[in-house]
A and B are shown apart, each in its own frame.
Chain A
Amino acid sequence: MNLELLNHVSAFIWQEADMLDHGDFDAWLALWAEKGTYIIPIDPNETDFENTLNYAYDDHHMRKLRVQRLIGGESISTSPRARTVRALSRFRVLGEEDGVVTVRCAQNLREFRKDVLKHYTADITFQLKREGECFKIQRKLIQLINSTDTLAGIGYIL
């Protein structure tokens, strides 16, 4: 097991999670490769995300819009913004090809907004493109364990 790589990707992913929980969205947007995709599918067995319905299938333009919606103050479901704490663990490097590291981890996210505490659990698979000493996110795939069930409105970035 390449512990150095595991440490490296874990540190990067924890940093990403911290940015989202603490609203550091400019820094978050800068983590992404220009053509990176942010995907939250519905069907846990689906692999053709482009040609099927997802909860989100964001390119860079949509990611920027999503951030704008969060901070713009125009949306009644995002103001006040939900407070979130996400715990990520169980990192496993699945492989590396052409400078892209694929790593899977577990995310437990707690959301508190107004007077309700909610809980979303997901597998997250990152494709991280090496860029010098660091990475850029090429793909973030969020597979909620209850994706086929009814969800409530999620006004923040998972």
Chain B
Amino acid sequence: MTNLIETVNLASSPADLVLHDRVHTSLYTDARLFDEELEKVFYSTWIWVAHASEIPDNGSYKSTYIGKQPVIVVRDRKKDVHVLLNRCRHRGATVCEHKKGKTNSFVCPYHGWSYALDGSLRGVPHPESYADCLDKGELPLVSLRVEQYNGMIFATFKDDIEPLVDFLGPAKKWIDLFMKQGAGYGVKVSGEHRFRFPGNWKIQLENTTDAYHFPLVHKSFLSSVDEQTLELFDFVKGPGYVEDLGNGHSVMVMIPDLVDLEANLDLPIPERFEALADELRAEGIEEEQVRRIVRAVGGSGFNLNLFPNVACSMAFFRVLQPVSVNETEIHHAVITMDGGPAVANRYRLRLHEHFQGPMGFGTPDDSEAWERVQKGAQAGTDLWIMLNRGLPGEKESEDGLISDVSAETGMRAAYQQWKKMMSA
């Protein structure tokens, strides 16, 4: 049987595709919706582009994407951060093909136009042919609006949207809590795992505040950890919660004891970190700081999902990048303590490798589950994705709406923001 007639829903307005407790499958499968999302979501709001530690010095840069547009995030000589479209103003070639590095300028390899770190056009080879018809001041690399909060750098194409801090709203306090895993040292991104899966970006967006899948999808990971850790990760029936923080952001608190890493420093040190604590003590570090570091190494007990493309997830930044309607790129950036004890950072690196990335014990199983969602979404043309889990117990909170830890409150929050933006 083939579908000769397109479904009614594909012609519907995006607002009709998002109900309070469900969203239409075409959100994963309709290529026209994807193109509209690039315009109305990715090119219309604050998009996370880097953590400040990724561009530490004057001239440090990283190249990345906003939606499908290549950009360069760069720190200039005055330490100001710029986000520049990665495209020469002459004939459009990219001016940077390295993922990261340090430079004095960006030079287009095609005709040699060179740009300063703030994007201004510095030089054009053989300018005589232009006589006086080339005004260099008019042709800088296109610079986007950039704002930062606690080391997180965001950019937007829009000059008229609210300031970043207003957009983040109540999510700010969770970002502050998340950064406590620096244990008093700076939070530093020390590399990332990159992988792609054949599925829509919103499938990943939903996953960050989905506790419901954890014991099932990550059974093999749970079988690979010690008893105490297993107990820690057995949070689905626990006292955690999910909260809608407004503007599409949400937080899922899996382990309430680990919300504030600087609290409860006198709690017993978990067995798996005893050897680490001993090594830190042997380095002469004070007991309180040892405990602070040990608590930080395991990461925060929550996942903060910032709409639309970044999450502060337990112990790493989780960044999504839409590629096409059915392909998404994910970066899992590892966090270490800048200048912190090497042994503690090694623990963090090994923990990251254990779960994350294409060869981790967690990520490939997530990826398989998401891939199946995309494949299954092809079955039937008029079906809905259920998002009503935790609705009966949902109540208003100081910052929005709150329900149990495996509620779909976070997904409902994201889709309401999607609906709002797509209807604008």
Interface residues of A (CB under 8 A from B): 40, 42-43, 50-57, 62, 65, 68-69, 72, 74-78, 148-155, 158
Please measure, in the bound complex, the distance between the C-alpha atom of A112 and the C-alpha atom of B367, giving whole angstroms.
16
Contacts of A40 in B (CB 8 A): 359
Please measure, in the bound complex, the distance between the C-alpha atom of A15 and the C-alpha atom of B272, giving whole angstroms.
36
Give the number of residue pairs across the A-B interface with Cβ within 8 Å.
91
B400 at the interface (CB under 8 A from A): no
Partner of A152, one of B99, B353, B358, B361: B358
Instruction: Flag if A69 contacts B220 (CB, 8 Å).
Output: yes
- A74-B219, A76-B369 known; A53 vs B352 contact (CB < 8 Å): yes
Instruction: Flag if A149 contacts B194 (CB, 8 Å).
Output: yes
Please measure, in the bound complex, the distance between the C-alpha atom of A26 and the C-alpha atom of B99, giving whole angstroms.
40
B200-248 interface with A by 8 A CB criterion: 217, 219-220, 223-224
Contacts of B99 in A (CB 8 A): 148
Please measure, in the bound complex, the distance between the C-alpha atom of A70 and the C-alpha atom of B236, giving whole angstroms.
25
Given A69-B361, A151-B358, 19 new contacts (CB under 8 A): A42-B193, A51-B345, A51-B346, A51-B349, A52-B190, A53-B193, A57-B353, A69-B220, A75-B361, A77-B365, A77-B368, A78-B220, A148-B99, A151-B194, A151-B195, A152-B196, A153-B195, A153-B364, A155-B364
B363 at the interface (CB under 8 A from A): yes
Contacts of A72 in B (CB 8 A): 220, 223
Instruction: Flag if B353 contacts A54 (CB, 8 Å).
Output: yes
Instruction: Flag if A53 contacts B361 (CB, 8 Å).
Output: no
Please measure, in the bound complex, the distance between the C-alpha atom of A101 and the C-alpha atom of B220, giving whole angstroms.
36
Contacts of B223 in A (CB 8 A): 68-69, 72, 74
Instruction: Flag if B353 contacts A56 (CB, 8 Å).
Output: yes
Contacts of B191 in A (CB 8 A): 42-43, 52-53
Please measure, in the bound complex, the distance between the C-alpha atom of A52 and the C-alpha atom of B195, giving whole angstroms.
18
Please measure, in the bound complex, the distance between the C-alpha atom of A57 and the C-alpha atom of B329, giving whole angstroms.
23
Q: How many B residues have CB within 8 A of the partner chain?
A: 34
Chain B: CB-nearest residue to A116: B198
B350 at the interface (CB under 8 A from A): yes
Please measure, in the bound complex, the distance between the C-alpha atom of A140 and the C-alpha atom of B361, giving whole angstroms.
20
Task: Tell me the minimal C-beta distance from B61 to chain A in angstroms.
Answer: 16
Contacts of A51 in B (CB 8 A): 342, 345-346, 349
Contacts of B357 in A (CB 8 A): 55
Task: Tell me the minimal C-beta distance from B294 to chain A in angstroms.
Answer: 19
Instruction: Flag if B220 contacts A154 (CB, 8 Å).
Output: no
Instruction: Flag if B197 contacts A65 (CB, 8 Å).
Output: no
Instruction: Flag if A53 contacts B194 (CB, 8 Å).
Output: no
Contacts of A155 in B (CB 8 A): 364, 368
Instruction: Flag if B220 contacts A152 (CB, 8 Å).
Output: no
B170-210 interface with A by 8 A CB criterion: 190-197
Task: Tell me the minimal C-beta distance from B190 to chain A in angstroms.
Answer: 6
- A51-B342, A68-B224, A77-B365 known; A62 vs B354 contact (CB < 8 Å): yes
Task: Tell me the minimal C-beta distance from A145 to chain B in angstroms.
Answer: 15
Task: Tell me the minimal C-beta distance from A129 to chain B in angstroms.
Answer: 24
Instruction: Flag if A76 contacts B224 (CB, 8 Å).
Output: no
- A52-B191, A75-B220 known; A152 vs B367 contact (CB < 8 Å): yes
Instruction: Flag if B353 contacts A53 (CB, 8 Å).
Output: yes
Instruction: Flag if A153 contacts B368 (CB, 8 Å).
Output: yes
- A151-B194, A153-B195 known; A77 vs B353 contact (CB < 8 Å): no
Cross-chain pairs A/B with CB under 8 angstroms, 26 sampled: A42-B193, A52-B349, A53-B191, A53-B353, A54-B353, A55-B357, A55-B358, A56-B353, A62-B354, A69-B223, A69-B224, A72-B223, A75-B220, A75-B365, A76-B368, A77-B364, A77-B368, A78-B220, A149-B194, A151-B196, A153-B197, A153-B363, A153-B364, A153-B365, A154-B358, A158-B359
Contacts of B345 in A (CB 8 A): 51
Please measure, in the bound complex, the distance between the C-alpha atom of A153 and the C-alpha atom of B372, giving whole angstroms.
14
Contacts of B219 in A (CB 8 A): 74-75
Contacts of B224 in A (CB 8 A): 65, 68-69
Contacts of B349 in A (CB 8 A): 51-54, 57
Chain B: CB-nearest residue to A50: B346
Contacts of A74 in B (CB 8 A): 219-220, 223
Task: Tell me the minimal C-beta distance from B348 to chain A in angstroms.
Answer: 9
Please measure, in the bound complex, the distance between the C-alpha atom of A78 and the C-alpha atom of B358, giving whole angstroms.
12
Please measure, in the bound complex, the distance between the C-alpha atom of A78 and the C-alpha atom of B217, giving whole angstroms.
12
Please measure, in the bound complex, the distance between the C-alpha atom of A150 and the C-alpha atom of B330, giving whole angstroms.
8
Instruction: Flag if A150 contacts B195 (CB, 8 Å).
Output: yes
Contacts of A57 in B (CB 8 A): 349-350, 353
B402 at the interface (CB under 8 A from A): no
Contacts of B364 in A (CB 8 A): 75, 77-78, 153-155
Task: Tell me the minimal C-beta distance from A75 to chain B in angstroms.
Answer: 4
Partner of A153, one of B334, B350, B352, B358: B358
B309-367 interface with A by 8 A CB criterion: 329, 334, 342, 345-346, 349-350, 352-354, 357-359, 361, 363-365, 367
Please measure, in the bound complex, the distance between the C-alpha atom of A148 and the C-alpha atom of B100, giving whole angstroms.
11
Task: Tell me the minimal C-beta distance from A114 to chain B in angstroms.
Answer: 9
